[in-house]
Amino acid sequence: MDYQLLEAQVRALLSEERDELANMANFASFVYHEVPDLNWAGFYFAGRAGELVLGPFNGRPACTRLPAGRGVCGAAFMSKQTIVVDDVNAYTDHIVCDSASASEIALPLTDQSGEVYGVFDIDSPRTARFTPADAVGIGWLVRVLTERVPSRPSFLEHLVR
């Protein structure tokens, strides 16, 4: 996978628009359609006390709220680290939103002061879909997004907690 090319493409895609929600919506669609073998890609945003609330995504309808610190997404949020799970069925704290998902990667969305305001989560129907090289490359893509969304987005003030 040529993540350098994808990085340049996503940078171009987001560069003309200043609205953060619009850019996040296009980012989720871009990843879903350009990275092969995915069945879901999208955002969860931190609500009250670390609960994660569904944001823009592509794929089948998903869980709207993930309890604080739970699931692959909660682990990425709490640890502020990218979490790769090769086999979600072997990961005890995995939260099943779509039974088609076999492997998963969740990346924290970090603001300029190091606070995490959400995660970007990707599911694949293929076991061990996300290699270390994928984690690095997808990290580049998420960094392009977080450069365009450098602090907790103001539209999250209206998040129903």
Which helix (H) or strand (E) segment holds residue 138: the answer is helix 132-148
Is residue 71 near ligand SME by the rule CB under 6 A? yes
User: Least CB distance from residue 131 to ligand SME, whole Å?
Assistant: 19
Which tokens go with 78? 């709490």
Residue from 53, 55, 94, 148 in contact with ligand SME (CB under 6 A): 94
Q: Decide if residue 72 touches ligand SME (CB under 6 A).
A: yes
Q: CA 161, CA 108: separation in Å to the nearest integer? A: 20
Tell whether residue 101 is a contact of ligand SME (CB under 6 A). yes
Interaction of residue 159 with ligand SME, rule CB under 6 A = no
Q: Out of 27, 30, 40, 117, which residue is the one contacting ligand SME (CB under 6 A)?
A: 40
Beta carbons within 8 Å of 140's beta carbon, 6+ residues apart: 3, 4, 6, 7
Residue selected from 13, 21, 95, 159 as contacting ligand SME according to rule CB under 6 A: 95
Q: How far is Cα 78 from Cα 131, in angstroms, rounded to an integer?
A: 22
Nearest distance from C-beta of residue 94 to ligand SME, angstroms = 5
Beta-strand ranges (E) seen in the chain are 40-46, 52-59, 65-66, 83-85, 103-110, 116-124
Residues that bind ligand SME (CB under 6 A): 40, 62-63, 66, 71-73, 94-95, 97, 101, 104, 121, 123
